[in-house]
Amino acid sequence: MKPLQLSAETAIELAKRLNVPLEQLMHMPRHILIQKLVELEQEQANTEPDSSSESES
């Protein structure tokens, strides 16, 4: 399996957000990376609705 084709900046940012070592991220299967990104989005969506609903009022 070849490493993911990500820019250096993107890879560093993803490694920080997913809390995984950069080397592990680069060799992570694509479907696992997508799953982790979806989980991260869901966590952020669960914490943000309170603040966004207040600003709409």
Instruction: Please check the confidence at residue 55 and state whether its pLDDT lies above 80.
Output: no
Alpha-carbon distance of 10 to 7, in angstroms, equals: 5
Statement: residue 54 has pLDDT above 60: no
Read off the amino acid at residue 5.
Q
Tokens of 6: 């990500």
- Angle of CA points 41, 19, 27, to nearest 5°: 95
Cα separation of 19 and 5, whole Å?
Answer: 19
The confidence score (pLDDT) of residue 50 equals 58
User: Is the CB of residue 47 less than 8 Å from the CB of residue 27?
Assistant: no
pLDDT digits (tens, 9 = 90+) for 2-53: 777 889 999 999 999 999 999 999 889 999 999 999 998 998 888 876 555 5
Q: What pLDDT is stored for residue 6 in this prediction?
A: 85
